[in-house]
């Protein structure tokens, strides 16, 4: 069976990727979507609204045991994984020294360890034409004070995704890193829930727009997807300007 796996499917970008793939299931050759998230009731509700067969998997991706349950499920069913969407993520808008041990470890485990391991577990079931979609961020292009841990995990995902795409090119497997700016989702509310040190949030994009841009960029053969002219300009400047200057500008915006 040809499947897509979407993590973080209970809300935001993960949910929109699942919806998009369900709506375009014939174009992308998908017969079933595995919806992965902690909140089972939410993904069951989503599954009931999609025009495709779904498997709902309640899973805490910060748990190594839960990650290995997914690995065992893949080994048992041996599906053809057409799409792997690593969209689960979390962050706190705080200085690294103001985060708790639990917040720090969970951010790294969910944003870095989980997608890297899921890719490792799913890759034996991929073939030419399969696609890995990893969630990066505009923050992946520069160090970001007061979003330090989150931005650093996304820098990892950007570098990991681009190198992985080169490694898997010989097998015909595509990898793209989706790097949006602010997105309207539960993520922002959770990131700012207590003690946030990030005050100035500019224009916010819809999750649907981010997903559609990602598939448009895939069709163009790109390995990084960035939505919006301003976002592209800022990402480009972050590559050429001294990072000390970029960080100072960011900090002044938060005063």
Residues of the chain with pLDDT under 50: none
Number of domains in the chain: 1
Supply the CATH number for residue 70's domain: 3.40.50.720
Q: How much is the pLDDT for 197?
A: 58
d(CA 232, CA 227): 7
- Give the DSSP H/E element, type plus range, for residue 254: none
Q: How much is the pLDDT for 201?
A: 67
Q: Which domain holds residue 137?
A: 2-253
Cβ neighbors of 190 (< 8 A, separation 6 or more) are: 90
Q: How does strand 131-135 pair with strand 80-86?
A: parallel
d(CA 53, CA 68): 23
Task: Say what the pTM is.
Answer: 0.92
């Amino acid at each position: 069976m040809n499947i897509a796996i979407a993590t973080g499917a209970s809300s935001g970008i993960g949910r929109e990727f699942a919806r998009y793939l369900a709506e375009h299931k014939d174009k992308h050759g998908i017969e079933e979507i595995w919806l992965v998230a902690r909140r089972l009731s939410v993904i069951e509700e989503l599954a009931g609204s999609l025009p495709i067969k779904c498997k709902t998997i309640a899973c805490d991706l910060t748990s190594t045991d839960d990650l290995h349950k997914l690995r065992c499920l893949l080994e048992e069913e041996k599906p053809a994984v057409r799409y792997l969407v690593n969209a689960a993520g979390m962050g706190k808008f705080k200085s690294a020294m103001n985060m708790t041990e639990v917040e720090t470890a969970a951010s790294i485990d969910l944003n870095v360890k989980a997608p890297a391991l899921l890719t490792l577990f799913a890759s034996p079931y991929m073939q030419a034409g399969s696609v890995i979609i990893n969630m990066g961020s505009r923050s992946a292009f520069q160090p970001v004070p007061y979003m330090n841990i989150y931005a650093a995990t996304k820098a990892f995902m950007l570098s990991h995704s681009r190198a992985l795409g080169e490694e898997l090119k010989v097998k015909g497997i595509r990898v793209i890193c989706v790097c949006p700016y602010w997105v309207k989702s539960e993520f922002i509310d959770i990131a700012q829930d207590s003690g946030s040190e990030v005050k100035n949030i500019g224009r916010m994009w819809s999750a649907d727009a981010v997903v559609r841009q990602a598939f448009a960029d895939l069709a163009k053969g790109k390995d990084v997807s960035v939505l919006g002219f301003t976002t592209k300009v800022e990402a480009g400047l972050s590559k050429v300007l001294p990072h000390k200057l970029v960080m100072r500008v960011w900090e002044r915006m938060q005063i």
